[in-house]
Amino acid sequence: MSIKIASINVNGLRNVNKRTLVFNWIVSQNIDLVCLQETHCTQDQTWLWSKEWKEYGGGESFWNCGTNESRGVGILLNKDFTLSFDVSMIDDK
């Protein structure tokens, strides 16, 4: 079994056109697990981004936010990703 993994520094995803472009590209590449860096997300945006990711053809997503101008990461899973794993999050800002 092989897993296709990518890590991308997106330098912000607040712009809906950029988010659409990034999400569509990831889905088109059939990547199983994507780690996004520098999302510049805030907690109130992540519900919308998770919803959009699924609408564009993705699966589950996990977000850890910084500010709307820096930091923030996301983990996006392909909708067909079936492996199970434990998620442990530690954030000691």
In a domain, 85, yes or no: no
Segments of the chain with pLDDT less than 50:
none
In a domain, 41, yes or no: yes
Structural domain for 64, as ranges: 5-78
Is 11 part of any known ligand binding site? no
In a domain, 89, yes or no: no
In a domain, 87, yes or no: no
* Domain count within the chain: 1
DSSP for 20-89, please give it: HHHHHHHHHTT-SEEEEE-----HHHHHHHHHHHHHTTEEEEEEE---SSS--EEEEEETT---------
CB neighbours (10 Å) of residue 5? 10
| Domain at 71, CATH number | 3.30.110
Q: What is the pLDDT, as a whole number, of residue 62?
A: 92
In a domain, 52, yes or no: yes
CB neighbours (10 Å) of residue 51? 11
Number of Cα atoms under 13 Å in the Cβ half of residue 60: 8
Is 9 part of any known ligand binding site? yes
10-30 tens-digit pLDDT: 999 999 999 999 999 999 999
Q: What is the pLDDT, as a whole number, of residue 70?
A: 79
Residue with the two structure tokens 């991308």: 8
